[in-house]
């Protein structure tokens, strides 16, 4: 009888040790899984950031190109729509001089 009780106790002890070892292994596996998940998440963040930066750089370049094209079109339109003859240019210069310094191109004197 004593042997049976000792075997039962030994079996219980072994079962407890196996359960403890299983818990330790489960904790280790869970910890490794969390670590891998964190690393994957960080990698995904880095990749997303890199992709976002590429998209932004492309968008900025496209916006700069479009802006340059619009400016070029506006300059061309202004150049074709504004044609000053000599008399009009002279009048504009006179008006500017008169406003700035109060003198005239014709006599070069201040009033």
**For 62-89, what is each residue's pLDDT tens digit?**
999 999 999 999 888 887 877 777 888 7
pTM (two decimals): 0.50
Q: Is the dihedral of CA 74, 80, 86, 87 positive or negative?
A: negative
pLDDT tens digit string along 37-64?
999 999 999 999 999 999 999 999 999 9
Which pLDDT score is estimated for 45? 97
What's the pLDDT at 58? 97
Q: Residues with Cβ < 8 Å from 6, sequence gap 6 or more? A: none
Q: Give the pLDDT score at 107.
A: 54
């Amino acid at each position: 009888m004593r042997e049976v009780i000792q075997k039962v106790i030994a079996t219980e002890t072994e079962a407890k040790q196996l359960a403890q070892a299983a818990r330790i292994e489960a904790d280790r596996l869970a910890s490794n899984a969390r670590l891998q998940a964190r690393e994957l998440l960080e990698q995904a963040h880095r990749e997303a950031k890199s992709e976002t930066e590429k998209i932004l750089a492309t968008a900025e370049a496209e916006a700069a190109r479009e802006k340059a094209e619009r400016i070029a079109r506006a300059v061309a339109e202004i150049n074709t729509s504004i044609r000053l003859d000599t008399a009009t240019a002279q009048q504009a210069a006179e008006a500017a001089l008169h406003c700035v310094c109060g003198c005239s191109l014709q006599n070069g004197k201040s009033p």
